Structure 1
Amino acid sequence: MEIIQTDTDDLTGMEKYHSKLVIYGKVSKDAHETVETNSNSASIRPRGRKKTLSVEADVIENVINDKLQNLLGRSFDKSIILKKYNKFSRLTIKETSLLKVIIDLIMGLATYYSVITSLIYLGYEGPGDDQYKFDIFIWILFIIDFILSFLVEYKDLNKISVRNFKMIAKHYAITWMIFDIASLLPLNLAGYPDAEYFLRLFRILKLKRLFQIISKSKINNFVQHCLKKEDTKKLRTMKILVSYIWNLIVQIIFMLIISFSISCLWSYFAKTIRWKENENDNFYYHFNLNENSVGEKVIKFWYFIFTTLMTVGYGDFYATNKFEMGFCILLLIIGPSWYAYAMGKSIETIKKLEDVENVAELNTEVDNFLAVIDYHYKEIPIKLKEQIMNHFEFYFQNDRAGPLAEKYWRYEDKKELEIFHNKFLAEMPKAESFKLLDILFAETFNKFRVFFGRNDDFRFYLCLHIQPRLYKSKEIIFNIESHPKEVLFLEKGEVCCGRYINNIFHEFYKYKDHCSIIADFYVINKAKPLGIYIAGNFASGFSIKGSIIRYVLNMFPIRKRKFMNFSMKKASLVERSINEGLGNLNEEEKNNNDDEKQKLMNRKSVSTRNLGGIKKKSKHGKKESFQDSEFRELNKQIQQFKRTNLFLAQNIKDSFLNLAKCIPEDFIKKADDD
């Protein structure tokens, strides 16, 4: 294999070529001919040279080019686009600048003023002198806005800000420029005021400009600022309420603007028919509207159009000639369909607004369900009903997954656990949906980070299966007779682990902290626990189905291995506490039995001595009496009883002697004679 030698110019050119390639990405084919650095030009492959690099060098060069293009090509293309887009960045007005916000606010109000006044001028009567002067001022504002439109940046389809004057002008020309020029034409000066007012109505298309400034996101930020000291749940509720209320307000305003515009056009149509067709019977003459002021005309025409669109038709106003009837036919074909759609959207928004705090409604549904059970089957005991109602009330108030919750019981295949079934999450890119869930469940992930982790996607597949749990005092959570079906995540209260012995619960281990994971080892291994888990005063938190945890853990082997080690250590600690507690109980019971036996033997021995046992002699030869305190007290009581009997006998004797002294002597003698 022959390699042609190259001089220093070739090597220098190759070095500069690859340095350029590393900085800017893939270069064009011409750059293979010449690469310029500053004012000097280094020849890499001069076309007139006879010496060339070896074939191996070409192959290596092509491989390097491909690899660098894959690594740096996108960023290089993006840098070129940004350089092109930001050609005049210092002279353009940024979309987020305060100046742009002020301009949009002023022009948004001016747009509403221009549309409303143009409709009134067109349908009822033209402006007065003072009104005309103010209209000129508004016209000047629109001219200034037209000029500034060539200086305001915009965002392309890739959401990249464009600050190139040429590109801004091109974008403006294909969007709003024609409509803005048409609405600025001063045709009133040429004697065509109605034409000018009609052209101004193009600005109806820009009425949303004001709502882009006062958007619901900005209102939500304001609400968040006002409620920064409140709890997060109240803040979330207020944000939802603000969003729905704002949507409802926008829809109502939109309906009012459309109906007002049609009423003004109806007035213009009625006047035009009266002048051009010489209809004697027309809307103005028939209802004597010429005698009313402009304000009264606006209200009456608006009222007529509104009732027509609502298909109510009270009969106080109606079309009076064939032209007006033809207009009403078109109005009744198009208007009610659109109005029904708008009203449907409003009703839907109101329904969502009612569902924001729908705990009471959900409780009513549960109550109705229980009533149906009572009616069709057997009446449920009141105590059981209360337990069911309390369970669902707690569930509805603490359901974190909410509308995003996965309904695993509906899945025919466990592979469905790997996808999201909410229509919005399903349509989002997986990376974006994971970011959203990471924000929504950040507090939960942080509390139980030992289980959910932070380095993989394991937590995102489980967070939507969370179900609230509440246990009252002494309620059994997991029994020793069966393996647990779910893992409990304790947040409040306490859970005790122990055994029932002689109908008495003996506690061996207690979960006191509010970030405890309970029964995870037994759920994963489908094993029975050594102890009974019961709630202390109360216990609340959430649980996840065991079958779901096992399936998702198998998707993440590393996470499974790490968590299994942690779970095994935790379970062994609990089981050791149970075994030690049982051992201590057995030892105490044995000691108690020995004490009882010893006491019984002592009592038997004492009883035997008291019933005739041999008395021991003292050192002095005298017999010792028993010194048992119990029998000593008995002897005292016997002696006292004897003394009491003697005292009573003496008293009886004395009483008889006193009685004998009271008997007369004659009575005694007579008794002796008898």
Structure 2
Amino acid sequence: MDTIQTDSDDFQGMKKYHSKLVIYGKVSGDAHETVETNSNSVSTRPRSRRKTLSAESNVLENVINEKLQNILGQGLNKSSILIKYNKLSKFTIKENTPLKIIMDFIMGFLTYYSVITSLMYLGYEGPSNEQYKFDVFVWILFIIDFFLSFLVEYKDKNKIPVRNFKLIAKNYAMTWMIFDIASLLPLHWAEYPDAEYLLRLFRILKLQRLFRIVSKNKFNNLIQQYFKNEDTKMLRTIKILVSYVWNLIIQILFMLIISFTISCLWSYFAKTIRSKKHERDNFYYHFSLDENTVGEKVIKFWYYIFTTLMTVGYGDFYATNKYEMGFCILLLIIGPSWYAYAMGKSIETIRKLEDMNNVAELKTEVDNFLAVIDYHYKEIPFKLKEKIRKHFEFYFQNDKAGPLAEKYWKYDDKKELETFHNKFLAEMPKVESFKLLDVLFAETFNKFRVFFGRYCEFRFYICLHIQPRRYKSNEIIFDAENYPKEVLFLERGEVCCGRYINDVFHEFYKFKDHCAILADFYVINKVKPSGTYIAGKFASGFSIKGSIVRYVLNMFPVRKRKFMNFSMKKAALVERSIIEGAGVSIEEEKDNNEKQKLVNRKSQSSRNLGGIKKKNKTGKKDTFQEPEFRELNKQIQQLKRTNLYLTQNIIDSFSSLAKSIPKDFAKNTGDDDDENQDTQ
């Protein structure tokens, strides 16, 4: 055995550059590098000072490949590994060649013909002369197909095409060769026609050959080309419809073939018992079937087997002797169980077809729910019913998560948020499930990449919890007095943020870029928002429950830290806008109040205590008095009249008294005062 000579420098060089490859990573790029290699050293020289990661990684990958070639030689080369697979490959027939596809299509139909005619010959009567000639032609085609099977390539477990004749023959010998040889034996020449027909029934195992050529995927590709490769909702609906209808057709065809096969075998069994056991009473004699034509026999036997498998048993046909009864016991043990399984699959497919337009069915469920509420509690107002119906109608039509949605309200433990509960997602490898979700929610991830991130697994665990939301004009979304319960992602419309001042809403900030995230900071930190969020003309998008956002973010601390930095800056901007706007609005409100007070004072000075006087049609002033001042006004008017009367009496009395006083009364009074002072 030859030994591989290695150089220690090769190991050291490969280790050195492998560490660099781990650091830089492998990124495709179009930058060019100059590479110099030899057995001892390797150097990389960029053409410019600006280095790109893609160029560096490509260079390092080439270096590692060369080192591996030096260490292990050419034994790992893919071409050398596949030499035995491609020996004499020029003479093999590829699977995808048009001639091979046409041949498989023809042989697929002939397989069905061979199985059906063999059952007819076995159960009822042999072929006519014209049918025999055509059967010989079909037999020759099967012989040609048998020899061509040694020339057709196949794919191994790793999906690598194998074109080596020995390997092809070995693979064919281990799969279908024995069954094909048995079905090709012309035993009718040895006067054993029934044995030949029985051996042909091995071809039942190859009935799926036709459906590999005419598959639903190829049919969907034709539909895709018809729609000019446009990815529309109608196209996706048609593809799903084709898939379900195709599965339903396969199930129905499978049930028909199996029931037809059993009916022909039952006829063959009844004839064999009549001829070999010489039973007096048998199925043919009891129901006079010998008098019927072949077509009538086929219908009657098929009908009897169908009713037996369905466990209906109308009683018009039944087993007539112990051998037939024994056969029916086996048939009733195995047949109905299999038939129930096949019927269940068909019913499941039909239900899926009904679910294609499940919006109408879901609307019916909502109506039934409202009807139950009306019956058990009290009748709901009509406007509230319409609001509930519109909410669910929008929800059903815009549910992005769809059948993959996580039903968090059914979870007993929050740790269940760390796993997928959909049957297929749970059984898929994690990498494949992440790729699937990345394709399904690519648009959403791109729109709100600030929240979901670009490469973090956080987005895959949170995306299945989104729920559609729509708000009408001036509808309150988040109130400043309550804690927000969910994070809103705005896709269409606009949302205004502000405060109510004296029962009037003042807008201080507006979200209208159609990719806004609302109330995230308040939900994560469990605090009340600094303002009230109100929908503009309209607003729609989706939301995620706050408890789910908090839990899943805690699973990814790096993602949480990055998003919280953005969230805090945005919340600070909104809060500052609200505070500044609210301060200006309060000052304006104070100024308006002062002006209003001044106006009220001016108007008060011009009105009487009893009210404002206005001129009527006659030109006289009417006093519009308030009810509580009417009595007081009467008293004031009466007091005024009394005071005027008393004042006038006093004036009249003093005027008459003044006339009776002498003119020198004041002078005499002054002299008397002087005398009194001198005496003293």
Alignment TM class, shorter chain as reference: 0.7 to 0.9
Corresponding residue of 2:95: 95
Cα deviation, residue 92, structure 1 = 3.0
Deviation of residue 485 (structure 1)?
A: 1.8
Structure 1 residues 161-176: aligned runs within 5 Å: 161-176=161-176
Q: CA deviation at 1:156?
A: 2.7
What corresponds to 1:528 in structure 2?
Answer: 528
The residue matched to 2:298 in structure 1 has which SS? helix
Q: Secondary structure, in 3 states, of the residue corresponding to 1:85? A: coil
Equivalent in the alignment of 1:215: 215
Matched letter for residue 95 of structure 2: E
Distance 1:76 1:414, change over 3 A: farther
Match of 1:125 in 2: 125
Are 1:470 and 2:442 matched, yes or no? no
Query: What SS is found at the alignment partner of 1:273?
Result: helix
Deviation, structure 1 residue 591: 4.3
1:18 CA drift (Å): 5.1
Contact 2:224 2:230 in 1 (8 A): no
CA contact (8 A) 2:478 2:534 kept: yes
> Structure 1, residues 389-436: CA drift from partner, whole Å, max 9, x if none?
332232222222122212223334333222212222112111000011
CA contact (8 A) 2:401 2:463 kept: yes
Structure 1 pair 97/599, CA: closer, same or farther in 2 (3 Å)?
same
* AA of the residue aligned to 1:291: E
What amino acid sits opposite 1:301 in the alignment? F
Query: Counterpart of 1:542?
Result: 542
From the superposition, tell whether residues 204 and 379 of structure 1 become closer, same or farther in structure 2 (CA, over 3 Å): same
| Alignment correspondent of 2:573 | 573
The corresponding residue for 1:641 is none
Q: Which stretch of the first structure deviates more once superposed, 409-418 or 374-383? A: 374-383
What's the offset of the Cα at 1:333?
Answer: 2.5
Shift of 1:15: 4.4
Residue of structure 2 equivalent to 1:178: 178
- The corresponding residue for 1:104 is 104
Q: Is 1:330 aligned to residue 344 of structure 2?
A: no
**Counterpart position of 1:428:** 428
The superposition leaves residues 563-608 of structure 1 with CA deviations (integer Å, 9 ceiling, x where unpaired) of 2222223223322332332233234334435655676788899x89
Alpha-carbon distance in 2 for matches of 1:591, 1:89: 95
Q: Residues 309 and 332 of structure 2 are in contact (CA less than 8 Å); yes or no, is this contact kept in structure 1?
A: yes
Residue 437 (structure 2) aligns with: 437
Q: Distance in 2 between matches of 1:212 and 1:100?
A: 13
Partner of 1:317: 317
Structure 2 counterpart of 1:385: 385
Whether 2:435 is the aligned partner of 1:457: answer no
- Find the counterpart in structure 2 of residue 397 from structure 1: 397
State the Cα distance separating 1:294 from its structure 2 match: 2.0
In the TM superposition, residue 223 of structure 1 has moved relative to its aligned partner by 3.4
> Secondary structure of the residue that 1:505 maps to in structure 2?
strand
Check 1:460–1:175 CA distance in 2 against 1; reply closer, same or farther (3 A cut). same
Rounded to whole Å, the distance in 2 between the matches of 1:232 and 1:543 is: 25
Q: Please state how far the C-alpha of 1:112 moved relative to its aligned partner.
A: 0.3
Corresponding residue for residue 515 of structure 1: 515
1:613 aligned partner = none
Q: What residue number does 2:491 align with?
A: 491
2:638 corresponds to which residue?
none
Q: What per-residue deviation string (whole Å, max 9, x for no partner) do you get for residues 29-68 of structure 1?
A: xxxxxxxxxxxxxxxxxxxxxxxxxxxxxxxxxxx99x97
Change in 2 beyond 3 A, CA 1:599/1:230: same
Closer, same or farther: CA 604–488 of 1 in aligned 2, 3 Å: closer
Partner Cα separation in structure 2 for residue 378 and residue 107 of structure 1: 69
* 1:563 paired to 2:563: yes
Give CA-to-partner distance per residue, 1:315-339, whole Å, 9 cap, x none. Answer: 3333333333332232223222221
How many angstroms apart in 1 are the aligned matches of 2:81 and 2:425?
32
* CA distance in structure 1 between the aligned counterparts of 2:10 and 2:585, rounded to whole angstroms: 81
1:101 deviates by: 2.4
What amino acid maps onto 1:454 in structure 2?
Answer: R
The answer on whether the counterparts of 2:154 and 2:162 sit within 8 Å (CA) in structure 1 is yes
Alpha-carbon spacing, 1:587–1:16, altered in 2? closer, same or farther (3 Å): closer
- Counterpart in the other structure of 2:275: 275
Q: Following the alignment from structure 2 to structure 1, what is the Cα–Cα distance between the partners of residues 336 and 558?
A: 62
2 CA distance for matches of 1:477 and 1:604?
Answer: 44
Q: CA RMSD in A?
A: 3.5
Change (3 A) 1:415 1:334: closer
| Matched residue type, 1:573 | L
Aligned to 1:42: none
**SS of 1:507's equivalent?**
strand
Residue 468 of structure 1 aligns to which amino acid in structure 2? Answer: P
Q: Distance between the aligned counterparts of 1:14 and 1:288, measured in 2?
A: 89
Post-superposition CA distance 1:611-634 (Å, at most 9, x none): xxxxxxxxxxxxxxxxxxxxxxx9
| Alignment partner, residue 284 of structure 1 | 284
Q: CA deviation at 1:150?
A: 1.9
Find the residue that maps to 1:462 and give its secondary structure: helix
Give the SS at the match of 1:540: strand
**Counterpart amino acid of residue 579 in structure 1:** I
Letter in 2 for 1:559: R
Instruction: Tell me the matched-pair count.
Output: 559
% same residue:
77
2:34 match: none
Letter in 2 for 1:585: S
Distance 1:72 1:512, change over 3 A: farther
Q: Specify the SS of the correspondent of 1:339.
A: helix
TM-score w.r.t. length of structure 2: 0.74
SS in 1 for 2:190: coil
Report the CA distance between 1:387 and its aligned residue.
Answer: 2.8
Partners of 1:172 and 1:417 lie apart in 2 by 49
Structure 2 Cα separation of the partners of residues 569 and 350 of structure 1:
53
Matched to 1:441, the amino acid is F
Pair 1:79–1:508, CA change in 2 (3 A) = farther
Q: Structure 1 residue 592 and structure 2 residue 592: aligned?
A: yes
Aligned-partner Cα distance in 2 for 1:89–1:587 = 91
Distance 1:387 1:13 in 2: 81
> How far off is 1:519 after superposition?
1.4
Cα distance 1:298–1:535, how it changes in 2: closer, same or farther (>3 A)? same
1:363 lines up with 2:363 in the alignment: yes
Give unmatched runs, 5+ long, in structure 1.
1-11, 23-63, 609-633, 639-674
Separation of aligned partners in 1, 2:573 and 2:456: 28
* 2: CA distance, partners of 1:455 / 1:232: 28
What is the distance in 2 between the residues matched to 1:211 and 1:411?
42
Q: Distance in 2 between matches of 1:374 and 1:604?
A: 57
CA distance in 2, matches of 1:524, 1:447: 21
Specify the code of the residue in structure 2 equivalent to 1:202. F
Q: Per the alignment, do residues 570 and 286 of structure 1 end up closer, same or farther by CA in structure 2, a change over 3 Å counting?
A: same
Q: Could you report, residue by residue, the CA deviation over 1:454-476 in whole angstroms, capped at 9, with x for unpaired residues?
A: 22222111111111112222211
User: Taking structure 1 as reference, are residues 284 and 445 closer, same or farther at Cα in structure 2, changes over 3 Å only?
Assistant: same
Provide closer, same or farther for how the CA distance between residues 154 and 512 of structure 1 changes in structure 2, counting only shifts above 3 A. same
Q: Distance in 1 between matches of 2:456 and 2:274?
A: 76
Write the distance in 2 (CA, Å) between the matches of 1:86 and 1:550: 57
The one-letter amino acid of 1:584's match is: V
Q: Distance in 2 between matches of 1:514 and 1:587?
A: 33
| Secondary structure at the counterpart of residue 189 of structure 2 | coil
Q: C-alpha distance in 2, partners of 1:388/1:175?
A: 61
TM-score, normalised relative to structure 1: 0.75
Query: 1:159 corresponds to which residue?
Result: 159
Write the distance in 2 (CA, Å) between the matches of 1:583 and 1:293.
Answer: 101
- 1:352: Cα distance to partner? 2.5
Match of 1:414 in 2: 414
Q: Provide Cα deviations, 1:158-205, integer angstroms capped at 9, x if missing partner.
A: 333333322222121111110001001111222222111111100000
Relative distance call for 1:517 and 1:96 in structure 2 (3 A) is farther
